[in-house]
Every structure is written in structure tokens, then in C-alpha cells.
Structure 1
Amino acid sequence: MKITTGGRPAALLGAVLLFAGLGLVACAPESGPAEPGPSETTQAVSLETGFKIGLLLPDESSTRYETQDRPGFEAAVKAACPKCEVLYANANQDAAKQQQQANSMLTQGVKVLVVDPWDGVAAAAIVDQAVAQKVPVIAYDRLIKSPQLSYIISNNYEKVGELQGQALVEKLKADNVPAGSGIVMLNGATTDNNAVNIRKGALSQIEPAGYKVLAHIETWDGPTAEKFASSQIAKFGTKIAAFYSANDGNALAAIAAMNAAGMKLVPTTGLDATLASVQSILAGQQYMTVYNSFKGEAEQAVKVALDLAQGKTPTSTDTVDGIPAFLQQPQAVTADTVATTVVKDGVYKTSDICTTQYAAACTAHNIK
């Protein structure tokens, strides 16, 4: 995956893709001017009359989708286009189901699709079908392997992995854990291109530091991760100096496995800044997580979706594989930075975090 940064109009990029034979067939007459790029549609729609927008999310195992992304997206649509209607579906880790959900939305007349794919390769078929009906598609959070995407809204996931790996290495060194000590890696699913980039970023920090990967698994499923972690604890025991986890669900699974085995907790990383993990971090269990602004990601997706549906050309700050993109930059979150990240941004109220069980931890870290 090639990422290029810097503001550059999507129209120019669309023209480049068109010249390369990757553009869409548009509605212009045969004798008319050159065909428009993939961001243009055939139907005249407006914010005044409203239209349908499709939102497809990949799973329910990651709590962020139902608690942050979906409500954030729907709220942003309501604010910008009160007469627009959001058609929503969650694939629940099923690529075929997600294809069916997309088919249904296209049949119902959506003017733009925002798709966070369960399987980034399989979802190319969704793009193909939408393009055939001149409906633009935005890849949301996870990349879809299709040159016919109109836009990508995501985060810098290689940087996510770098932050995780850097934090883990620094913690191990601070605890005087020698090079050569073992790490068990709980990576994300191979169907998710983001997981590949996260792993790449993490290893760029772990390997040069001299720590040894004892074992690894690729899954976003918490119970599967917990079962694997338990098996590795039984196999390696105290040789495990840390659990590298690509997200919070797997991190909490590793912590549950350590507790069940009576093992002293070792540093464990995460991603998504879920409420349970933020509380775990404050309690001294999970070591760190990474926060990407869910609200910022959802609001940017809505802004681009509304432009594309109206045939407008959204600007972009980045490109991914030549496709216009908007990539947020992640932030590492430890117990010392909870207040200045997720609390400051209003992701959680202090009352959400500082329940009776975590009140003392909140006081210790000046979260009021």
C-alpha cells in the first residue's frame, strides 16, 4: 500500500485514474465531453430534498462500531442533511452477508455507500456492483482492494503499530527486561488490510530492540484470542515478557487468560481506546491503547459522502494507492494520558470511566 500525503484535489486524481483505465462509465452522452471520474453520479440530488446513504460496518466484536462509529455517523448526517436517510447494516464477520446487505441498499436506491469491509478483497465485488449503478463507494476505516473506490477515510494504521511497538519496547526496557525475552503477538485478522499494516509497524519497533516473538495468531475474535493466549501461557509460562495485542478486544482476552492461569500480568498493548480498556489501563492491568478519533473519522466520512452523492469533488489530504484519502493520525494512550486524550475529546465522560470500582484509580491519575 502506497500512501502519499499533502493536499491535492480529488478531481485531478480521478482524472489520473480515468486515464489509466480505472474510471467509471458515466452518464454523459457519447458525443459529449470526456467521462467524469468515479466521484460523479447520474442522479441530481440535494441536501434540501435529501437522499439515502448506505453505511456498512464489519463486525460487532469490536465495540467501537456500535458505540462510536454508527452513532457518530448518523448524528453527523442528521446535522448536515436532516432529510437524508441512513440505511445501516453490520456484517457480523461475514463477507457474504455484507455483500447481500450492499445489494439490498443498492436496490433501495442509496446514492452513496460507505463501507467498512469485513474482507477487504471480497468487498471489491461491492464496489464493482455499485460502480455499475454509478453509485460512489467510500472505504471507511479499512481498505477495499479496488481501484474504483471514490475515496478512503481511515487512520494511519502503520503508525498505530509503531506506537504500540514503541510503547511496549520502552516499557520492557524501563522494567529492565533484557533483549531476547519473549513476546506473544495477538495480531488482527488477515482479511483486514489494516491489521497487516499494524503488524508491520509494530515489528518495526520490536525486532530492532532484540525481543523475540514466541508465537502469534491473526484474529479479531476475542474468545479465539483468549484461547490462544491460554495455550501459550501453558507452553511458555514466565518466558512471556509481554503480550503484543493489535486491539483492545484481544488485549482484554490476554489479560483474562493471564488471570485465569494465575500468571503475573505482563505489559499488554491495544487499540481503539474502548471504555473497558481505558478502565483496565487506569487499574494497572492493560498497559496502553491507541486512540483514533471516531467522531473525526465519522464526520469526515459524512462530509465526503454528501459531496460525492451530489456529484461534487471532495478535496483530499492524502492518497492511498492513488485514491484520494483522509488519514487521521493516532495517539498513544497510557494511564498518564487518559485525561488529555479520550476525556478531553469527549469520547467518555468521567462518570463513565470513574465508576465505584475505578474511582481510586481516577483520583490517582487526576481524572475528575
Structure 2
Amino acid sequence: MRSRTCHVVAALVAGLMTMSLAACGRGDERVTDSFSVGLLLPSRAVPRWERSDKPLIEKRLKELCPHCAMEYANAEDDATMQRQQIMSMITKGVRVLILGAADTRALRSSVQEAHDAGVPVVAYDRLAEGPIAGYVSFDGAQVGRLQGEALLKAMGDKASRGNVVMMNGDPTSANAAWFRRGALSVITGKVNIARSYDIVGWSTQSAHANMAAAVAALGPDRIGGVLAANDAIAAGVISALKSAHVGKLPPVTGQDADLDAVRRIIKGEQYMTVYKPFRMEAGAVASMAVALGRGEDLRDIATTTTNSPTAQHIPSVLLTPRAVTVGNIKQTLVKDGMYTIDQICTRQLRPACDKAGFGR
């Protein structure tokens, strides 16, 4: 009888131990999947960061890790502020940082501090210097090539005789240099680059001022095309051309497919933009962040590697951009769900939309 009782007790103890271990396992899973991810974006001046990237990253993080939390901060083009934001997030205990750097060089020491604190940093859209754990962006050289090819096509036979003004991005951005190299690889020797400006902070106002200076120097009728690095810069360029009473606007490039830029394309004021499917970029960076938070390897996510001035073989995802003109807005931006026709075609734009073949 005693032996049987002992066996029963032993079985109960074993069962309780199994239940306890299982409960601990479940608890460990909950702990593993309930960490914080810090998202640091660089600017409010460029609409995409707040309107597209932030909500898309937050949504995908929740899908991949329902119990994870997201800490968010925007640097407003201030690298000193972003350094403080990084330190604040490390202090709060975030497990991973997603960094869209306000200044890729100036943030190097902060990336190192995060690394030393055991917080991996995923560079988003811009490759920050320092010990970066992963990198997600679009092929910047291809962005520039698409802009250059579109500009040559729009200028047509006049390309060899036309003056081109280059409105480059922020000189502190590695991406701006990447875009510029890509564009130059296409247009060098085929057009006369009459003026070239670096636009600090990708500012619409600075672009306006510099374009006004170019018009004053070259004359309003002697500008054959403008290679604007993004849509915010394109907005400043076009406003300056209008202020100078330029009769027929020259072709102007852009990037980011901002809604206002798409409307300018419909109106015939801006020739093209470069569409970078932000949903894919946001999805890739969220996947990297969750994998790092769980202590997983990035090799199943990264499709290539990238070198920076301070790090080699960074696991990377480099996505493919697409050129958008009035002829393929429906096949790109509308088809992908970035905008609806009703969002693009305001009442004032309805005649232009009808002319462009935008049926409801």
C-alpha cells in the first residue's frame, strides 16, 4: 500500500513539475515576445516619414510581434536631438533600434553606444556609420539612374543643347551622394550641367531660393530640365519657376511619390517621381528588428550585404524603385494601394485627371 502511495505521489510531483516547466516555457515566450523597439525617423519636412513609414512600420511590428511595443521619436533634421533620443530609448530599455539617421556620420558615436549597451541598430533608408546590425533601403544608384533616364527622355532632341540644373539632396546624407552618382552615370556627356546645388535638409524653401538664383543667372528660357533629388525639392523648384514667370515649365524629376507630387504630375508641372514601395521597406525593417529582438540571425531576411565607411558585410535588403510618370500612375501607385484615384483627383484636378485617362 505504501509503495502504491509513493508511486501516486511521485506521479503527481512529476506532473506538477511538467506543468510548471511548461508554464515557465510559456512565460519565457511571453517575455521574449514582449520587448520594445525604438523607431527614430529623421525629419518632418519630407512627408513620407510621418505619413507612410511610421504607420507602416508600426503596423508590421504588431503583426510580427503582437506583444511588442514601439517607442517613437522624430529628429526634425537635428542630429543632436536624435543623439539624445537614442540615449533616451536605450535608458528606457528598448531591445532594438530602427534608425533613419538625420546625419549618417554624426550619429556614429550614438550607434556605437547602442552597440556597447547590447542594443542592435538597424539602419533604415539611410546607412548610418558605426556598428550597424542590419540595413534596409532602396538601391540609390538606381533611383538616380531612373531620374536621369526620365530627364533625357523628356528633353528629347533638345538634351544635347539644353542646360540642366541639378538640385541634389542634403550633403550630409550618404543617400544624396548615391542618387547623384546614379544620375550622373546617365546624363554626363549628354547634357550641359549648368548649375548644381546641394539642398540642406531637403528643404523646399532652400530649393526655391537656389532655383531662383539659377533662373536669374541662366535666364528663364534657357533651362532645359531640372534634376531634383526628391519631391520636396521639386516643389521648391516648380514654385521658383512659376514665380519667375517661366512660360513652359521644363521637365522636373522627383522622388518619394508624395501625393502633392503625383498631383503636380497630373497637372503637367512635374515630369516624374521615383516610387519606392514603402510597404516593402517597412516590412523588411520590421522583420529585421523582430528577428534581432528574438536573438535570431538575419541571414534568412537579408538578401545581400553592404559596406559602410566603418563596417563591412552588413546584412542588407536593397529594394528596387520604379519610375512614375502620368502614364503609369494607375499601374503603380493606385494598383499598389498607395493612393486611390479619389485621393489623387481633387475636384480642381478632375479635368486634368479625365484628360490623363483616370476613370473612377
The normalised TM-score by structure 2 is 0.87
* Deviation at residue 208 of structure 1 after TM alignment: 3.1
Which runs of structure 2 are paired with 1:209-220 in the superposition (5 Å)? 209=190, 211-219=191-199, 220=202
Amino acid paired to 1:214 = A
Corresponding pairs, count: 321
Letter of the aligned partner of 2:240 in structure 1? A
1:330 equivalent in structure 2: 321
Q: 2:64 maps to what in 1? A: 80
2:290 is equivalent to residue 306 of structure 1? yes
Query: C-alpha displacement at 1:178, in angstroms?
Result: 4.6
Deviation, 1:361, is 2.2
Aligned to 1:133: 117
2:234 counterpart of 1:251 = yes
Q: Measure the CA separation in 1 of the matches of 2:149 and 2:226.
A: 13
CA contact (8 A) 1:90 1:98 kept: yes
Find runs of 4+ consecutive structure 1 residues off by over 3 angstroms.
Answer: 44-49
Q: Is the 8 A contact 2:148 2:187 kept in 1?
A: yes
CA contact (8 A) 2:145 2:183 kept: yes
Q: What whole-Å deviation, never above 9, does each CA across 1:146-199 have from its counterpart, x for those lacking one?
A: 2x21100000011000000001011111xx315142111110011110100100
Aligned to 2:178: 197
**What amino acid is the match of 1:120?**
T
Which residues of 2 match residues 1-368 of structure 1 at below 5 A?
49-146=33-130, 148-173=131-156, 176-209=157-190, 211-219=191-199, 220-237=202-219, 238-264=221-247, 265-315=249-299, 316-321=302-307, 322-367=313-358, 368=360
Q: Deviations over 1:101-153 (max 9, x none)?
A: 0000000000000001011011111210111111111000001122x211000
How far the C-alpha of 1:301 sits from its partner, in A, is 0.6
**Which stretch shifts more, 315-324 or 303-312?**
315-324
1:125 & 1:60 partners in 2: Cα distance?
Answer: 24
> Counterparts of 1:127 and 1:95 in 2: how far apart (Å)?
12
| Runs of 5+ consecutive residues of structure 1 not aligned to the other structure | 1-43
One-letter amino acid matched to 1:293:
P
Q: Percent of aligned positions with the same letter in both sequences? A: 37
Asked whether the 8 Å contact 2:32–2:294 carries over to 1, the reply is no
SS at match of 2:144: helix
In structure 2, distance between residues paired with 1:47 and 1:154? 30
Q: Deviation digits for residues 258-311 of structure 1, max 9, x if unmatched? A: 111100211000000000000100111100000001111011111110000110
1:338 corresponds to which letter in structure 2? I
CA distance in 1, matches of 2:141, 2:357: 31
- Distance, in Å, in 1 between the alignment partners of 2:151 and 2:165 is 12
TM-score using structure 1 length: 0.85
Cα pair 2:38 2:97 within 8 Å, conserved: yes
Structure 1 residues 80-100: Cα deviation after superposition (integer angstroms, max 9, x where no partner): 222211100111111111000
Following TM superposition, by how much is the alpha carbon of 1:78 offset from its aligned partner in structure 2, in angstroms?
A: 1.9
- Whether the 8 Å CA contact 1:45–1:51 is kept in 2: the answer is no
* AA at the equivalent of 1:212: N
